[in-house]
A and B are shown apart, each in its own frame.
Chain A
């Protein structure tokens, strides 16, 4: 990866407080770093869907800080993705090249659910009647075949404004090659419809594939007015609370951007919460000197996995929002996070012939697992954990919620164990093993599918259920080391504290590598970089360094799918075509099992990221102790089952808050904290590191 540095002339003053707020579906998490004391404080409140700001303000108070003394406020939010998934966005229209208004509805015509006659496809965010065709056309080289009919654009824009349209998206064919028509149409629309949110596709994606680009710009326009006013409202509230600092928004790339950019390019914040977790994992890797790690986030309904490879978070160029079958594509760079519908609430059921299935049905929070006593009757992953003793009936959520062990046992026995002729413990263990393999497959999707071997990685587990299942997932993948970070329930907010400014650019440019003019390459990269540097200028007082990376999407001539290849600056300095080719051959070999050094390669797209580095909170040292945990940390022992063939064994239990750096705990053991429990299997050994992370060395099977 290329690194160009330019040290900022200003030496940014560390401001008193850096604040991060991760507003999720259920909880709002706050992390606050106080530079004066070097301390990080956390707050957690229930998300308040109607007035999200109120929840944040509440959480900030809980963390014992205030906006008045805050220098930087970093915000991750589900407002964008929820608007999209819940379909509560603006009345939006699409202006599109004549002949193509239906491409947004036709999509790619695929039918992944191939035998299901009741299959569904994606539902556009913009009705057909509001998709209007414009006379204009470019060819694939960007030449004008039909000039833009400006009068038509103006007329339509006015008519749309008259009918109360709140947002207008623009997509013209081949605008990735030549955006002039989109730029002009955007100007006309903005002029004709003041107050209407306008978005043109090239502002978000300059990659070919018209359906994906249309879907991206449509989604941006659809969520735009809502997100923009949310941020306005937030900004206003911050002003009222005397916030003197810089308000930054988390993107799906794990970088932040300013409010102005965020209000225009709303689509970039879709996955800001999960991205925070990956940034947290990256920070942890740097501190622990780990080059490669898998970030594993498990909650009540889903498990998510992302990868840090060579110290960097692995990205993807596009994603289907809402799933592969019926989701809407968004074609922008983002962290590659794969998800599976396995969580604590996943239901275990018997199918015909006695097949045991876990999920995809989930009991969710309501009726929830049987043991919650909220009406759930079918056994879940959480019930299995309780029956095996891994969760304590009287210590769940710090004892706030008593769990019904007998009910969980009864459900497991009647619905699973008896019909299969298994003991209850064997049935519970089986459910966890099946859930574990499902989660291991999702980890493989981000590793094996890229030619990486999960066994070479450390597993960083967080989220409420992550620490409970981490060791099992690690064993399944032959991962030798598990890390449970400090405050696993606040990990995304913690990660946001360490975020950098970031802008990502992609330009489709088809050229044979062998004949690629390096001057032209250089010019295009410099263009992207200049744009990026200008864009992060708002963050100037906080920037330490600006780092620029270059990469290119490449393929063998004749192939379609391209691989992203990092391009070190030295290759450009030496105009080293052979070096670029060798880098591509090597990554193709890793990813797909073969490289073809004798074959010609071509460039499809150029990518550049401009990163404005900011000061990170330093690690918080934990008071040191000896290998033996202090007596105060002990919570006694209880019977826990790690192997149904052996049964329940007495297992030492510790309170995480009272453990000291250097403590060593040999499995079997449980480490309990407010919202999660870490399971240490017999044979595995847990060590508390200097900053309070739990590091488990997994015994080789």
Chain B
């Protein structure tokens, strides 16, 4: 906020500053609630795929809703572009500024980004903004896109309202170019209501405290955030920290790995994140713009330094420099395709954590599943013959273990925050699909002294002829462990044809596959990486995991060196000690030992036979390393799986 035209602010009052701080947080929270409860598409109201915020008159972040981390920069950069485009002098009360330019938002065209200037007694004091994911923005429905033009409507920076008067031509252009115009217009209304809420709150604050006091308080809030972050960065040992990982492929050149390299330099109270050596932009739609590249660095930085400092504001990022040349996969240039923009930045965040692990082991986290694990199904609903577009999944996956804690199971990836999955009961009401299973994915957590969280599995059956697409990443670059911890299971997508076999997709990309009645698709999310050697895990913790059925006995032995007595089902301490000693001597376990059953199946022809078998019943897959399926005539007391679970349950609690 360095504006020569602005009068020097009065020295801020600490009490007013704190009151303003609480007010900004409450304002963004109410903006979020407002949008969530009035939106028309499930991606906004359940997935909460949006962010709202308040910005200063230069477009810097004062407070953004904590909904979706990777949107940390999107609205701000958009407002700055709008200011550059129109000039401040040409922005008036009642204007509603709009764009979805992917190279400004840094993300895909679905992100319609609205903002309004906030004028207090004629003076511009800031902006309220909202970026939300529209369900459809035109472009091709299925398959891969190779440039931005095939991805739908591009709306340059425009005024959707001019001084309070709607620019109907613009709205008509939008309505003509999207597949679900009623929903699009509903979401547009909801977004505008939300930013009006933010505007009202900001004006109330100006009214109550006085404009200059408000602006001075805002400066102080940003200064406080900066001071806090500098203190935290100073605590990190100076040095250069590097790490590398990879993405499976770009969806076009199958199997060609895409390198992700990060270099972090800490000097006193300042951090520099250098993404120069990251992959160049790619052919497939996994590119994102510079804004996304900056966002993932800021997200990683915030997580490591000031996760609980709110409101989230740009003061926090003053001690951070980001080096990112253009033309990289997260600073792509036109006409690079961007539809699946969100995937690679998540792995960049994880790779920054990996780089910083030696410097701040108690703050970082082992790798996580780092993908939204979504699938989309579209077609005509047998009930009314109308087009439906179902973006399903968001099934949540495993998070990495920490220095002192197990990872968390079944939670949304770092791109998202307060994002919800859709209740299966709701999915089945709205869409012609049957969710057959939604469960934790056993054995998927990376073994370690502290175990990675579990991924999940969701199996969905089609009841008609539909098209299916999935763009799952991190199938092969599994969530890594730290400090001797092993990797968790990778993400995965398969299709089980009715009466046919289960088809595995080696790098997770399924582009325009037809589903027929009775066909199922299966999404499996990865588990988190482990932390510390699994041979150091407390055997009682391994026993607890086995009783709960989240670690199989096979894995307990192979990765944790813990053996169970066949008769009592309790840990056999002597046998376990001996096995652990042997494994240590052999330099094991390694990541291959920790490969899950379904991970192996992906590469194993034997899996096909299993898939055929599981078709026979309403196949429940893989328990405790055994393949199992169910026949209607099996008596409950003869049911192996049931007997096993009941036997284990006796020992729990």
By a beta-carbon cutoff of 8 Å, the part of chain A in contact with chain B is 91, 93, 98-103, 105-121, 127-130, 132, 135, 139-140, 145-146, 149, 151-152, 154-156, 159-160, 163, 173-174, 176, 208-212, 351-358, 420, 422, 426, 429-430, 433-434, 437-438, 441, 444, 448-449, 510, 556, 558-561, 588, 591-594, 596, 599
With a CB–CB cut-off of 8 A, which chain B residues contact A434?
15, 18-19, 22
Given A102-B440, A105-B440, check contact A155 B637 (CB 8 Å). Answer: yes
Q: Is B652 an interface residue (CB 8 A)?
A: yes
With a CB–CB cut-off of 8 A, which chain B residues contact A115?
66, 69, 299, 302-303, 306-308, 312, 417
With a CB–CB cut-off of 8 A, which chain B residues contact A433?
15, 19
Q: Judging by beta carbons under 8 Å apart, are B183 and A558 in contact?
A: yes
Given A128-B550, A561-B45, check contact A111 B412 (CB 8 Å). Answer: yes
Q: Judging by beta carbons under 8 Å apart, are B39 and A559 in contact?
A: yes
Specify which of B21, B193, B423, B437 is in contact with A208 (CB 8 Å cutoff): B423
Pairs of residues from A and B, 5 with the lowest C-beta to C-beta distance, nearest first: A114-B417, A109-B396, A353-B227, A430-B15, A99-B437
Q: Judging by beta carbons under 8 Å apart, are A117 and B303 in contact?
A: yes
C-alpha gap A100/B423 in the complex (Å): 11
Q: Judging by beta carbons under 8 Å apart, are A112 and B417 in contact?
A: yes
C-alpha gap A151/B635 in the complex (Å): 8
Q: Judging by beta carbons under 8 Å apart, are A593 and B227 in contact?
A: no
With a CB–CB cut-off of 8 A, which chain B residues contact A108?
420-421
Q: How far is the CB of A411 from chain B (nearest CB, A)?
A: 17
Provide the B64-90 mask, 1 if CB < 8 A to any CB of A, else 0.
Answer: 001111000000000000000000000
Q: Judging by beta carbons under 8 Å apart, are A351 and B224 in contact?
A: yes
With a CB–CB cut-off of 8 A, which chain B residues contact A145?
434
Q: Is B334 an interface residue (CB 8 A)?
A: no
Q: How far is the CB of A534 from chain B (nearest CB, A)?
A: 28
Q: Judging by beta carbons under 8 Å apart, are A129 and B228 in contact?
A: no
Q: Judging by beta carbons under 8 Å apart, are B653 and A109 in contact?
A: no
Q: Judging by beta carbons under 8 Å apart, are A592 and B34 in contact?
A: yes
C-alpha gap A119/B410 in the complex (Å): 13
C-alpha gap A422/B13 in the complex (Å): 10
Q: Is B642 an interface residue (CB 8 A)?
A: yes
C-alpha gap A108/B190 in the complex (Å): 23
With a CB–CB cut-off of 8 A, which chain A residues contact B426?
208-209, 560
Q: Judging by beta carbons under 8 Å apart, are A116 and B421 in contact?
A: no
By a beta-carbon cutoff of 8 Å, the part of chain B in contact with chain A is 14-15, 17-19, 21-23, 26, 30, 33-34, 36-42, 45-46, 48, 66-69, 182-183, 186, 189-190, 193, 196-197, 220-221, 223-224, 226-228, 231, 299, 302-303, 306-308, 312, 353, 363-365, 394-396, 402, 405, 408-412, 416-421, 423-426, 428-429, 434-440, 456, 459, 547-550, 618, 620, 630, 632, 635-637, 639, 642, 645-646, 648-653
With a CB–CB cut-off of 8 A, which chain B residues contact A591?
37
C-alpha gap A101/B409 in the complex (Å): 14
C-alpha gap A130/B418 in the complex (Å): 29
Taking each of B36, B409, B440, B646, which has the highest tally of chain A beta carbons within 10 Å of its own beta carbon?
B646
Q: Judging by beta carbons under 8 Å apart, are A117 and B364 in contact?
A: yes
Q: Judging by beta carbons under 8 Å apart, are A130 and B649 in contact?
A: yes
Taking each of A106, A109, A110, A433, which has the highest tally of chain B beta carbons within 10 Å of its own beta carbon?
A109
Taking each of A118, A156, A354, which has the highest tally of chain B beta carbons within 10 Å of its own beta carbon?
A118
Q: Judging by beta carbons under 8 Å apart, are B23 and A437 in contact?
A: yes
With a CB–CB cut-off of 8 A, which chain B residues contact A154?
636
With a CB–CB cut-off of 8 A, which chain B residues contact A358?
18
Q: Judging by beta carbons under 8 Å apart, are A109 and B419 in contact?
A: yes
With a CB–CB cut-off of 8 A, which chain A residues contact B21?
355
Specify which of B409, B438, B651 is in contact with A100 (CB 8 Å cutoff): B438
Q: Judging by beta carbons under 8 Å apart, are B417 and A110 in contact?
A: yes
With a CB–CB cut-off of 8 A, which chain B residues contact A163?
646, 649-650
With a CB–CB cut-off of 8 A, which chain A residues contact B189?
594, 596
Specify which of B14, B34, B40, B226 is in contact with A430 (CB 8 Å cutoff): B14
Q: How far is the CB of B373 from chain A (nearest CB, A)?
A: 10
Given A139-B428, A208-B426, check contact A449 B19 (CB 8 Å). Answer: no
Instruction: Give A93's nearest chain B residue, CB to CB.
Output: B649
With a CB–CB cut-off of 8 A, which chain A residues contact B439?
99-102, 106
Q: Judging by beta carbons under 8 Å apart, are B421 and A109 in contact?
A: yes
C-alpha gap A90/B353 in the complex (Å): 41
Q: Judging by beta carbons under 8 Å apart, are A558 and B637 in contact?
A: no
Q: How far is the CB of B597 from chain A (nearest CB, A)?
A: 17
Q: Judging by beta carbons under 8 Å apart, are B26 and A559 in contact?
A: no
C-alpha gap A102/B444 in the complex (Å): 14
Could you name 24 residue pairs across A and B whose Cβ atoms are closer than 8 Å? A102-B410, A103-B438, A106-B396, A110-B420, A112-B417, A114-B66, A115-B66, A115-B69, A118-B405, A121-B410, A128-B550, A129-B648, A132-B649, A155-B635, A156-B646, A160-B649, A163-B646, A208-B423, A210-B425, A352-B228, A356-B18, A357-B18, A433-B19, A559-B186
Q: Judging by beta carbons under 8 Å apart, are B425 and A209 in contact?
A: yes
Given A353-B224, A354-B224, A560-B46, check contact A129 B67 (CB 8 Å). Answer: no
C-alpha gap A352/B363 in the complex (Å): 19
With a CB–CB cut-off of 8 A, which chain A residues contact B436?
99
Q: Judging by beta carbons under 8 Å apart, are A510 and B429 in contact?
A: yes
With a CB–CB cut-off of 8 A, which chain B residues contact A140?
425, 428-429
Q: How far is the CB of A388 from chain B (nearest CB, A)?
A: 14
Q: Judging by beta carbons under 8 Å apart, are B408 and A561 in contact?
A: no
Taking A163-B650, A355-B21 as known contacts, 19 extra A-B pairs with beta carbons closer than 8 A to each other, sorted by chain A number, are A98-B618, A106-B395, A106-B456, A108-B421, A109-B410, A115-B299, A119-B411, A149-B636, A151-B636, A160-B649, A174-B425, A176-B425, A209-B425, A353-B227, A356-B15, A422-B14, A510-B429, A560-B46, A596-B189
Q: Judging by beta carbons under 8 Å apart, are B193 and A593 in contact?
A: yes
Q: Judging by beta carbons under 8 Å apart, are B440 and A560 in contact?
A: no
Q: Judging by beta carbons under 8 Å apart, are B548 and A110 in contact?
A: no
Specify which of A151, A352, A437, A444 is in contact with B19 (CB 8 Å cutoff): A437
Q: Judging by beta carbons under 8 Å apart, are A106 and B440 in contact?
A: yes
C-alpha gap A155/B429 in the complex (Å): 32
C-alpha gap A109/B395 in the complex (Å): 7
Specify which of A100, A155, A426, A588 is in contact with B437 (CB 8 Å cutoff): A100
C-alpha gap A143/B511 in the complex (Å): 33
C-alpha gap A351/B227 in the complex (Å): 10
With a CB–CB cut-off of 8 A, which chain B residues contact A160?
646, 649
Q: Judging by beta carbons under 8 Å apart, are B412 and A561 in contact?
A: no
Q: Judging by beta carbons under 8 Å apart, are A592 and B37 in contact?
A: yes
Given A117-B364, A173-B425, A433-B19, check contact A128 B548 (CB 8 Å). Answer: yes
C-alpha gap A93/B66 in the complex (Å): 36
Q: How far is the CB of B52 from chain A (nearest CB, A)?
A: 14
C-alpha gap A99/B648 in the complex (Å): 19
Given A140-B429, A208-B429, check contact A110 B14 (CB 8 Å). Answer: no
C-alpha gap A426/B438 in the complex (Å): 57
Q: Judging by beta carbons under 8 Å apart, are A121 and B411 in contact?
A: yes
C-alpha gap A209/B223 in the complex (Å): 44
Specify which of B14, B395, B648 is in contact with A355 (CB 8 Å cutoff): B14
Q: Judging by beta carbons under 8 Å apart, are A159 and B646 in contact?
A: yes
C-alpha gap A121/B418 in the complex (Å): 12
Specify which of B224, B409, B428 is in contact with A174 (CB 8 Å cutoff): B428
With a CB–CB cut-off of 8 A, which chain A residues contact B648?
129
Q: How far is the CB of A368 from chain B (nearest CB, A)?
A: 23
With a CB–CB cut-off of 8 A, which chain B residues contact A558?
40-41, 182-183, 186
With a CB–CB cut-off of 8 A, which chain B residues contact A152?
636, 639, 642
Q: Judging by beta carbons under 8 Å apart, are B630 and A135 in contact?
A: yes
Given A111-B417, A135-B630, check contact A593 B197 (CB 8 Å). Answer: yes
Q: How far is the CB of B222 from chain A (nearest CB, A)?
A: 10
With a CB–CB cut-off of 8 A, which chain A residues contact B428?
139-140, 174
Q: Judging by beta carbons under 8 Å apart, are A107 and B193 in contact?
A: no
Q: How far is the CB of B589 from chain A (nearest CB, A)?
A: 24
Q: Judging by beta carbons under 8 Å apart, are A109 and B412 in contact?
A: yes
Q: How far is the CB of A278 from chain B (nearest CB, A)?
A: 22
With a CB–CB cut-off of 8 A, which chain B residues contact A556?
40, 186
Q: Judging by beta carbons under 8 Å apart, are B34 and A110 in contact?
A: no
Q: Judging by beta carbons under 8 Å apart, are A559 and B40 in contact?
A: yes
Q: Judging by beta carbons under 8 Å apart, are B45 and A560 in contact?
A: yes
With a CB–CB cut-off of 8 A, which chain A residues contact B417?
110-115
